[in-house]
């Protein structure tokens, strides 16, 4: 998976966050990551709560290749949030 671009647009319509499955409301600033994988291009949207966690996750070299597997992301969030308590 190759990251092609990361932008922080203001939403013109509702989107679903790929991190937490929450709703990104119209007018909310969110993160859009565009990837190339197996000859296809994908865009993933993240709410303001999840995108700082995504940035942190991508810095971890052990899980970079599978960072967008939902179960892995969910487990990573749970583990790191528990460490902050």
Q: At what angle do helices 70-84 and 51-58 cross, to 10 degrees?
A: 100
Q: pLDDT band at residue 84, thresholds of 50, 70 and 90?
A: very low
| Each residue's pLDDT tens digit, 15-65 | 999 888 889 999 999 999 888 878 889 888 999 988 887 777 767 666 555
Residue 67 has pLDDT above 50, yes or no: no
Domains of the chain: 2-84 (3.30.1740)
HEC sequence for the chain: CEEEEEECCECCCCEECCCCCCEECCCCECEEEEEEECCEEEEEEECCCCHHHHHHHHCCCCCHHHCCCHHHHHHHHHHHHHHHC
Q: pLDDT band at residue 85, thresholds of 50, 70 and 90?
A: very low
Half-sphere exposure of 78 (CA within 13 A, CB side): 6
């Amino acid at each position: 998976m190759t990251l092609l671009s990361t932008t922080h647009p203001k939403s013109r319509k509702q989107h679903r966050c790929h991190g937490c499955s929450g709703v990104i409301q119209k007018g909310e600033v969110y993160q859009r990551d565009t990837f190339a994988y197996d000859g296809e291009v994908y865009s993933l949207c993240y709410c303001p709560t999840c995108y700082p966690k995504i940035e942190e996750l991508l810095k971890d070299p052990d899980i970079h290749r599978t960072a967008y597997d939902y179960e892995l992301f969910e487990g990573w969030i749970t583990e790191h949030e528990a460490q902050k308590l």
